[in-house]
Amino acid sequence: MSVPKKILVTGAAGLVGAEVCARLVKAGHRVHALVHHTRALIANNGRVIASSDGGTAPDGGTAPDAGAGPVRLVTGDVTVGRLGIGPETWAELADGLDLIVHAAAITDFGRPREVYQAINTTGTAHVLELARERSIPLVHVSTAYVCGERDGAILESQLDVGQRFGNPYEESKLAAEQLVRKAAADGLPTAVIRPSVVVGAARTGVVRDFKNLYVVLKLLSQGRIRAIPGYFDACVDLVPVDHVVALIAAVVDDFARARDRTLHAVGASVRMRHISDVLAEYPSFRVPRYLAPATFDPATLPTLERGYWDRVMSLYESYFRRRQHFDDSTAAGLRAYRRLADGPNHLRRVIDYAVKVGYLGAPLPGVADTLSRVSRR
């Protein structure tokens, strides 16, 4: 068992942040969870981790598990200097603080550029400011897609190589990483974790929030978007949320080994062809067709489809063209799980769960047989 630590987790209400809190408290660490408006931390499985009216255990009980450390909610705001934490509260919090896990970020697409700047970049600057005051080690949660639209092998050591970005989110996260690297060069102990596209848990596909990829799958499966400008061999990397959290926990437990390193938290690659093939296995789903990007013109789409394209799908358009492979040699030396060997099979788990809970629509006759067959693979 690792030595118990006092840890501040920012973005604790988010999908990754909440799971990090649950994992760390179960390991016996004392967790201070920075939240904005949220009054309760909810794990990916829907259970309460902690609330403002009293802490609860990761399993939803009324008291922490034996050997588990407590969770304390701290109200703050990463967009504000000193995270909006008063001097007395910060003095108490910083006393004996062993580590900061910075997971606060806005990951939704389609927001104004200044929102990403305020939360993802300036927010990181504010966290670094406090970390520097007492040389508190920092684990920074970034994204594998700081690589932008660059194709080919993406190394953990690479950052700014003049890449073009698909959206302001990616750009803001690269700027945040640059701040972390500068702090590291100045002597602050840091480690960077770069998740790819975070999806449901490895064994079950369970996910608390249906965002990003799930929105795309919904529009495609419902036939709201019938054509995609992209390539069959383009690919996207899917990583289960529990794998991301396991790597973060490993870095927390063995920070000395991870210090000054960047680690890709990645899962398995899924090609656009695989997405079409898997969607075709579900009788109620529509399957999109792919068009050469050079010949695709959104102006020719029917009015309703054009609306969905402009408001949603255009935000993800570059991912249908990327041919990227994320090297994770550094992460492989720390993680305690096997990287997914079959991306399409995990995509099935992700879709199965979304169908089961009704996000992708109620199963129609024939779907039950499909789900049963897929679950036996």
Question: What global pTM score does this model have?
Answer: 0.91
- Report the distance separating Cα 194 and Cα 272, nearest Å: 22
| pLDDT 10s digits, 60-69 | 333 333 334 6
More confident residue, 219 or 56: 219
Confidence of residue 337 (pLDDT cuts 50, 70, 90): confident
pLDDT at 69: 60
Segment (H or E) for 204: none
Token pair in block for residue 159: 């950052």
Q: Is the pLDDT of residue 90 over 60?
A: yes
The stretch 352-373 carries a mean pLDDT of 66
Asked if 52 and 74 count as a contact pair (C-beta separation under 8 A), the reply is no
Q: How far is CA 114 from CA 28, 119, 171, 314, in A?
A: 38, 9, 11, 19
| pLDDT 10s digits, 146-187 | 999 999 999 999 999 999 999 999 999 999 999 999 999 999
DSSP strand pairing (268-271 vs 235-240): antiparallel
DSSP state of 341: S
| pLDDT 10s digits, 102-129 | 999 999 999 999 999 999 999 999 999 9
Q: Is the pLDDT of residue 246 over 60?
A: yes
Of 107, 134, 145, 110, whose CA–CA distance to 123 is shortest?
Answer: 107
